[in-house]
Structure 1
Amino acid sequence: MTHPALPKDIVEFIDALRSEAAAAVEVDAPSKPEGEWWIDLEIDGMHSNVLWQKSLGFGLYVRENGFGGRPQEIYRKAAEAGARVLQLAAQWRKDAKFHALGLKELRHLLGETQDDVAKALNLDQARISKIENGADMKISTLMDFLAAMGGTLELRARFASFEAPIEPVDPVRRIARVRHAA
């Protein structure tokens, strides 16, 4: 059986990893052209799975083995997915743990500086540093921070028998508050 050629996005993803780290990579092709490609990674003792599908992009498994569950993080672009895996590997080298995406890491993935975000929020750079390093913040502050970089906040509640998105702030009151503040 011949193996299909690797899609361009997967090649770009692997190249992004290998440009920065000695990564062991195994790629499992789907049985159907529109199917899911599995990419198994090992970088400095960190093992992770990445799922790629042309219509969805790269799904990173950052909590446990990916088989049987959903990816915790999804990236449309190979460069961003590769950069995130390299962030995870750097964190792994420090304490052999996976870490959720923090605001600083998110800002770096998007190529934004603290000054860029500060200008978008009409704050100073020192305040952005405090927000990124803060252990506790208001959800509204986080929503504003993400909006300054073009994003939105989604929260999910997980229970033993189900998980569902939650809306922590009434969207009508939130819009009114943001308009009033402007």
Structure 2
Amino acid sequence: MAIIKNAIEAMEAVMTPEQVSRARAAAEREMLAIRLAELRERKGIRQSDMKAFSQTAISKIERRKDMKLSTLIDYLEGIGMGLEIRVYPKNAKGSHKSQTILKV
């Protein structure tokens, strides 16, 4: 893991702050797709087992970089999971804490 961290730091060192921000956002979107498929697989649910969507739709959802919140909620309900959205101050100084703004 240290090798990966060093490689990332080396790449970010030659990028502008805006490029780093865009790259991190893109990586997070990619990770969402991986996390959704992993959640479903850990629950032992095949794409074709989900009632609310066709197998093709599940495949597309799991590859999406962006989706409606309602679609994500429906997907998670289909695998027996809920959703909690928390917000936090990015540049927190002091005792600012995160807070839940949605839990379904």
CA deviation map 1:14-57 (0-9, x unaligned): xxxxxxxxxxxxxxxxxxxxxxxxxxxxxxx48xxxxxxxxxxx
Matching of residues 105-116 of structure 1 within 5 Å: 105-116=38-49
The aligned residue for residue 104 of structure 1 is 37
Q: TM-score, normalised by structure 1?
A: 0.35
2:50 matches 1:133: no
- In structure 1, distance between residues paired with 2:66 and 2:46: 22
Aligned partners of 1:124, 1:111: CA distance in 2, in Å?
Answer: 17
Post-superposition Cα deviations, 1:84-104, rounded to whole Å, max 9, x if no partner, equal xxxxxxxxxxxxxxx566110
Q: What runs of 5+ residues in structure 1 fail to find an aligned partner?
A: 1-44, 47-98, 172-182
Structure 1 distance, partners of 2:102, 2:84, is 8
Residues matched between the structures, number? 70
Larger Rg: 1
SS where residue 167 of structure 1 aligns? strand
Q: Percent identity?
A: 39
Q: Where is the helix percentage greater, Structure 1 or Structure 2?
A: 2
Structure 2: where are the runs of 5+ without partners? 3-30
Greater share of strand residues, 1 or 2?
1
1:157 to 77, 87, 90: 87
Q: Give the distance between the partners of 1:150 and 1:124, measured in 2 at CA.
A: 17
* 1:156 aligned partner, one-letter code: R
Q: Say what the alpha-carbon RMSD is for the aligned residues.
A: 2.2
Structure 1 segments of 4+ aligned residues over 6 angstroms from their partners: none
Q: CA deviation at 1:113?
A: 0.4
Distance 1:135 1:164 in 2: 25
Which residue type is aligned with residue 154 of structure 1?
A: E
Tell me the TM-score normalized by structure 2: 0.59
Distance in structure 2 (CA, Å) of the matches to 1:153 and 1:142 = 8
CA–CA distance in structure 2, aligned partners of residues 167 and 124 of structure 1: 27
57, 65, 72: which is aligned to 1:142? 72
